[in-house]
A = this chain, B = another copy of it.
Amino acid sequence: MAGRVTISDVAKLAGVSSQTVSRVINNKGEVSDSTRETILSIIDQTGYRPSGIARSLATSRTMTIGLVVPDIANPFFSDLARGVEIAAYEAGYKVFLCGTDEEPDREEAVLGSLESARVDGVVVCGLRQASDTLRAVLMQFPAVTSVNLIVDESFNCILTDDAAGGRTMTQHLLAGGHRAIGLLAGPECSYSGLGRRQGYSEAMRMAGIEPEERWVQHCRPMVDEGEAAARKLLETNSDLTAIFCYNDLVAVGAMRACKSMGLRVPDDIAIAGYDDIRLADLVTPALTTCRQPREQMGISAFELLFDQLNGEENRGKKIVIRPELIVRASAP
């Protein structure tokens, strides 16, 4: 884009120095009303728009943040992203969307590109690894992490109590008379996956059942993968009467698998999900699940980052979200 009007163009037209124009733009320092008006009208006529790039270089603030998610097409993350974006926009920040496509290797790469962009901070969600190098990379900017394993005093975090959620859901299934409960545990390196599995195991043991390794199957958090994993699980474990799924997408996949295998939900097998995405109560049968306030989590994440950006040396803050059990037809 060439031939743009610059601050000195405006200054010349107004017969002042560019500094005065700058003062008007930024509402800084005193400027006489008359010159302010001239400048303002010239800005209006010329359609002048300050270059964020040049401004960033001069101030070393870009007014941008990075948002890192495994997959924006995953409703959990798109809802969360919506919250982040809305809050950021209100505060005058723009957000770079970075998907890692569920590939752990790309996490470091996108953070690198975000650093090149000199973002003021990052909101990082659903990291699939927690290596020291990644942690070190993250330490390079103000960062809020959410729903992942990188949780220490160096970062502000939005956490969900996955262990509690897993426990509650498993107890609900146990209360329904189920004993052999399968677990589609999500990605192996997922924070939430581990937490929910822990809750599951605890609840099982509290009920006097030792959860068997063969009852557990990992898969990426997508419908197709959930379907494949569920089929494998059911083929090798004819004793299962319920499956607790990593999230609602996986649960939907599991329901598909059941359908194609001639199993009725919930009569032959109960299915439970997690997240309560909008469509959880639209599938048939409607999904029993755990609700998480995704958009609000996104808003809180940005707010945490915003505070951190504005001085107060407050790292190590944690906001813990408690998931809520939602009982529907798929696992009554």
Contact = CB atoms under 8 A, between A and B. Distances in A.
Contact of A51 (B52, B78, B85, B116): B116
A1 to B, nearest CB: 7
A53 to B, nearest CB: 5
A180 to B, nearest CB: 25
A184 interface: no
A52 B295 CA distance: 31
B71 A97 contact: no
Interface string A115-128: 11110000000000
Q: How many copies does the complex hold?
A: 2
Interface residues of A, number: 53
Contact of A73 (B67, B79, B94, B118): B79
B99 A97 contact: no
Nearest to A279: B279
Q: What are the 7 closest A-B residue pairs judged by CB atoms, nearest first? A: A284-B284, A78-B78, A97-B97, A73-B82, A52-B116, A282-B283, A52-B117
Given A52-B117, A283-B283, 16 more contacts: A2-B60, A51-B116, A51-B118, A52-B116, A53-B118, A73-B75, A75-B75, A78-B78, A81-B97, A82-B99, A86-B101, A89-B99, A97-B97, A256-B282, A282-B283, A284-B284
